[in-house]
Chains A and B, each alone.
Chain A
Amino acid sequence: MKNLAQNIADVPRSVAFRPATILVPWLACLAVALGVHHYLPMIVDEYWVNVFRRMGVFVMAAVSLNVVNGFAGQFSMGHAGFMAIGAYVAAGFSYYGSLYFRGEANVDDFMIQGTLLMLVGIVAGAFAAAGAGYLVGLPSLRLRGDYLAIVTLGFGEIIRVTLELTGKQVYDAKAFQDAPLSTLATLPFNGSTGFERVLPYANLFWVWLFVGVVCVVAYRIKNSSAGRAFLSIREDEIAARSMGIDLTKYKVRAFVLAAFLGGVAGAIYAHTGVNPSPTDAGFQRSFDIIIFVVLGGLGSLSGTAIAATLLTGLSEVLRGPESIVNSPAGVWSLAGIALALAVGSALLKAVGNRGWRVLAVASVAPVLLVCFAYLAQWLATAWGVKLSDYRMILYALLLILVMLLRPNGLLGVREVWELFGPEKPARRPGAVGPGKEPAP
């Protein structure tokens, strides 16, 4: 009975129905989102809560871009455009929806309906972005490498200019309720000023829930037959084609999937208390996301997520390093993290897990961060040099240095959990290669 499905359909074991494997990741997402939502505001203040919301958006953006850039190796530079489409469609749903159903959107007594509108908007925004991804992917197939990069960049710019040309936003609920469809036909997204007064329904819970969902979906894609097809296209198109992989189909699929997930990221972004504006579709935002992906490692989901988290956090720390030094809670929590990582590393080493090296390296990072914050404070008081002025310069130098010293990014194509596991047996002297028996 247990293997009924397997026996009837002759489905191989790997894709047979296994409730635990399917359900556990989603439950984990829910748990993480609830945990973050509940405990984070206790540790950090309002400002850092907002930073964590933005961080979540960037993680989603970077992970979704990794599907097309990392897995399929198609260098897309217009990802911010897809995100902006998702953002505008979702913001349109929640703003004009509130205007239509409620008259005036007030967060407190319209919270549940507003959140529902946002969720509908997220789905709609994701599908709209996926449609745009299909439109971009289809003609781009004939192009490779740099050409593809520049065409996708051009598409992103076209989206930006189109958003700048949209009509004036409607604030008057009565006017909108009278003629909702003819108003929407003018694309009332407020042109270059940016869509205003989109309510911040996406609190920490929703942001991090969707971070989890996007990551799980991306991981499932990576380990599906489509994901393997993507990877083979990335390695060698001609070899992939000769193995019977339909290049056209899979390239478009990669584009559509990445745009869909990017649309989700954009839709969440629109609800984090920012005004989505046409500059969000510009190439500078696309570059930011590419930087996360490349620094994290093309093809590594966890690496990308870590890079996006660390770089967003780092740029906040560079904005005001003094804030860490001046709050004892900041220093102590960082010291606690460092200590926990060091202890974990020692434990792993004791049980013979090769992951201890990763944790050892990671435990140095908070210490460096605190040292850096003290350095910044010293520079500011002793020399009058505000390091926050040099924030972007340090960021650019970091990017160049990583490219020079660690060209595959933080993790390369590996995932972070692949770095853990039993220690590999030490090679005996005279061994020819890994796993090979030495000649007698």
Chain B
Amino acid sequence: MATFFDTLIATIALGSLYALVALGYTLVYGVLKFINFAHSDIFVLGAWTSFTSAVAVTTLLDTQGVPPWWVGALVLMLAVLVCATTGYLIERLAYRPLRKAPRLNVLITAIGVSLLLQNVGQLPGYPVVRDNVPPAAATADASAPAAQGQTLATLPFGPTPRSMPQLLPNAVLNDSAVASGTITAGSGRGQVRLDQPIEILPDRQYALVVTRTVDGEPRTTTFRLVGIEGGRIEAGTDIGTQPRRDPIDFENATYRLVLSPVVALRLIDVLIVVSSIALMIVLQYVVFHTRLGSAMRALSFNTETAALMGINVNRVISITFVMGTALAAAAAFLYTQKYTSLSQPASAVWVLLGLKAFVAAVVGGIGNVRGAVLGGFLIAGLELFGSTYSEVLITAAGGSSGIGTALRDIYVFGLLILVLLVRPAGILGTVTREKV
């Protein structure tokens, strides 16, 4: 049952991200009637801009651990700004000249733009942030040899996969504290000695939240307890922790022993869901209750008639692009906070992610805003439940592990084919009949 709820929470979080990206696809498809293949690369741009600016800001502030909350907001703003500008430029320079061209040409151009963004993104890049030196100095003489320390971030982003710094507290919301006190070091690496006896329940996960003072500032780290069995542990017994640290680090640090919940509800998941829903409500309002929204819907219905009614077609299309890319940037920021290891910009991982979001838009009914949200959750659910449970079933049946996880793409594309065969316009889409 724990697996079920874990998967459910992951589904809701991933589903909101898919939905945000799918909204970008669906908005563009609604007004321009073509698949914007470069949208997944805008997502990548958002993720890597978040990474670069986060590294720059945290290095500049020299923050240890989790930085103040406004850093996250600033990074999000930067990502949205960069992506929206890029989206506007792409539309202006690559797609607008092709407004009257066959749809296939626009599709190919989109593939070209996608290739361009991917490959510019993974150029070797100039270092913009280095360890040990203030970043301003590092940018000034970027050509100097790398004796100043390790390169933390480059522009463009380079071919190395990187790890996103943590901007939001990685807290579990529903854990319960069991004990607290002061650590009296330990006898070996990765071992701590607590100052009071504790009662350990069998088959449950415990975490040790240690707060210690480094250079006069408190620093909090969470450790997993390893090698403990159920029952009473006397004060003064050594307990193993993961990751391992030197016992000196723990000397006189305060600790909080928490019982991890069976189903962990993480702050980041809640944030993702809440902010995604907020963005979707804003979008719903804009599309259905403002003049701009009516213009967009009119354009989607019939471009020429909309132009005759006095709608500035180019402007509305530009705004739609900017909205779609901004949503992708927001989704990308949230994504980097949940899945902190970033693949290199041209990695197939990103393209697949974008494709799945596109599948979500198609399954829900492309051009339909509510359909994109529905499709996002549907695809995420199918992917995560399908892979988790087929993994469980296959390993139980004696199959090798990893097969179930590998099947997730098959499920997604299988659903796409199935839905399109039963309802060719998607679940919420309306069928348009061609008249001669």
Contacts of A428 in B (CB 8 A): none
* Stretch of A47-55, A59-67, A103-111, A395-403 lying at the B interface: A395-403
* Interchain CB contact under 8 A, B362 and A291: no
* Stretch of B12-20, B105-113, B242-250, B307-315 lying at the A interface: B105-113
Q: Which residues of A384-419 have CB atoms within 8 Å of chain B's CB atoms? A: 389-390, 392-393, 395-397, 399-400, 403-404, 407
* Interchain CB contact under 8 A, A153 and B355: yes
Q: Which residues of B241-260 have CB atoms within 8 Å of chain A's CB atoms? A: none
Contact of A164 among B119, B406, B416 (CB under 8 A): B406
Is A255 at the interface (CB under 8 A from chain B)?
no
Q: A147-B362, A399-B115 are in contact. Are A407 and B98 (CB under 8 A)?
A: yes
- For residue A276, give the distance in angstroms from its CB to the closest CB of chain B: 17
Contacts of B436 in A (CB 8 A): 238
Contact mask for chain B residues 330-366; partner A; CB cutoff 8 A; 1 contact, 0 none = 0000000000000000001001100100110010000
Is B225 at the interface (CB under 8 A from chain A)?
no
Contacts of A393 in B (CB 8 A): 116, 119-120, 123
| Interface of chain B, main secondary structure | helix
* Stretch of B147-155, B181-189, B277-285, B417-425 lying at the A interface: B417-425
* Interchain CB contact under 8 A, B111 and A290: yes
Q: A139-B421, A389-B123, A400-B94 are in contact. Are A407 and B413 (CB under 8 A)?
A: no
CA distance A339 to B115 in the complex (A): 35
Contact of B348 among A75, A146, A284, A392 (CB under 8 A): A284
Contacts of A287 in B (CB 8 A): 111, 115
* Interchain CB contact under 8 A, A142 and B104: no
Closest to B111 in A: A287
CA distance A162 to B411 in the complex (A): 12
Q: Which of A149, A158, A291 has the most CB of B within 10 A?
A: A158
Is B101 at the interface (CB under 8 A from chain A)?
yes
Q: A238-B436, A287-B111, A397-B116 are in contact. Are A145 and B406 (CB under 8 A)?
A: no
Closest to A147 in B: B420
* Interchain CB contact under 8 A, A403 and B112: yes
Contact of B414 among A145, A158, A407 (CB under 8 A): A158
Is B103 at the interface (CB under 8 A from chain A)?
yes
Contacts of B392 in A (CB 8 A): none
Closest to A152 in B: B417
Contact mask for chain A residues 358-395; partner B; CB cutoff 8 A; 1 contact, 0 none = 00000000000000000000000000000001101101
Q: Which of B116, B118, B414 has the most CB of A within 10 A?
A: B116
Q: A291-B111, A294-B104 are in contact. Are A146 and B34 (CB under 8 A)?
A: yes
Is B198 at the interface (CB under 8 A from chain A)?
no
Is B238 at the interface (CB under 8 A from chain A)?
no
* Interchain CB contact under 8 A, B403 and A165: yes
Closest to A397 in B: B116
- For residue A312, give the distance in angstroms from its CB to the closest CB of chain B: 16
* Interchain CB contact under 8 A, A161 and B103: no
* Interchain CB contact under 8 A, B97 and A404: yes
Contacts of A313 in B (CB 8 A): none
Contact of A154 among B108, B109, B359 (CB under 8 A): B359
Contact mask for chain A residues 15-38; partner B; CB cutoff 8 A; 1 contact, 0 none = 000000000000000000000000
Contacts of B29 in A (CB 8 A): 146
- For residue B430, give the distance in angstroms from its CB to the closest CB of chain A: 14
Is B169 at the interface (CB under 8 A from chain A)?
no
Contact mask for chain A residues 287-298; partner B; CB cutoff 8 A; 1 contact, 0 none = 100110010001
Q: Which residues of A138-171 have CB atoms within 8 Å of chain B's CB atoms? A: 139, 142-143, 145-147, 149-151, 153-155, 157-158, 160-162, 164-165
CA distance A433 to B94 in the complex (A): 36
Is A283 at the interface (CB under 8 A from chain B)?
yes
CA distance A164 to B403 in the complex (A): 9
Is A282 at the interface (CB under 8 A from chain B)?
yes
Contacts of A396 in B (CB 8 A): 112-113, 115-116, 119
CA distance A389 to B351 in the complex (A): 21
Contact of B103 among A146, A147, A157, A158 (CB under 8 A): A146
Contact of A149 among B107, B109, B417 (CB under 8 A): B107
Contacts of A294 in B (CB 8 A): 104-105, 108
* Interchain CB contact under 8 A, B420 and A399: no
CA distance A158 to B328 in the complex (A): 26
Contacts of A283 in B (CB 8 A): 351, 355
Q: Which residues of A305-363 have CB atoms within 8 Å of chain B's CB atoms? A: none
* Interchain CB contact under 8 A, A404 and B98: yes
CA distance A21 to B202 in the complex (A): 84
Contacts of B348 in A (CB 8 A): 279, 282, 284
Contacts of A143 in B (CB 8 A): 420, 424
CA distance A282 to B413 in the complex (A): 13
* Interchain CB contact under 8 A, B409 and A150: no
* Interchain CB contact under 8 A, A150 and B416: yes
* Interchain CB contact under 8 A, A158 and B409: yes
Contact of B35 among A149, A291, A397, A404 (CB under 8 A): A149
- For residue B309, give the distance in angstroms from its CB to the closest CB of chain A: 27
Is B434 at the interface (CB under 8 A from chain A)?
yes
* Interchain CB contact under 8 A, B35 and A146: yes
Q: A150-B35, A393-B119 are in contact. Are A238 and B434 (CB under 8 A)?
A: yes
Contacts of B424 in A (CB 8 A): 142-143, 147
Closest to A136 in B: B417
Contacts of A75 in B (CB 8 A): 104, 107
* Interchain CB contact under 8 A, B413 and A403: no
* Interchain CB contact under 8 A, A284 and B111: no
CA distance A283 to B37 in the complex (A): 12
* Interchain CB contact under 8 A, B108 and A389: no
* Interchain CB contact under 8 A, A284 and B421: no
- For residue B237, give the distance in angstroms from its CB to the closest CB of chain A: 45
Contacts of B98 in A (CB 8 A): 403-404, 407
- For residue B359, give the distance in angstroms from its CB to the closest CB of chain A: 7
Is B102 at the interface (CB under 8 A from chain A)?
yes
CA distance A157 to B414 in the complex (A): 10
* Interchain CB contact under 8 A, B105 and A403: yes
Is B287 at the interface (CB under 8 A from chain A)?
no
Contacts of A404 in B (CB 8 A): 94, 97-98, 109
Is B161 at the interface (CB under 8 A from chain A)?
no
Is B407 at the interface (CB under 8 A from chain A)?
yes
CA distance A142 to B351 in the complex (A): 26
Q: Which 4 A-B pairs have the closest CB atoms?
A: A154-B413, A399-B112, A396-B116, A396-B115
A/B interface sample: 10 pairs, CB < 8 A: A143-B424, A147-B420, A147-B424, A150-B35, A151-B417, A154-B416, A238-B436, A287-B111, A396-B113, A397-B112
Q: B residues near A, CB below 8 A?
A: 29, 34-35, 94, 97-98, 101-105, 107-109, 111-113, 115-116, 118-120, 123-124, 348, 351-352, 355, 358-359, 362, 403, 406-407, 409-410, 412-414, 416-417, 420-421, 424, 434, 436
Contacts A158-B409, A393-B116, A400-B116 aside, 13 further interface pairs with beta carbons under 8 A come to: A145-B103, A149-B107, A157-B413, A158-B413, A161-B407, A282-B348, A287-B111, A294-B108, A399-B108, A400-B94, A400-B113, A403-B98, A404-B98
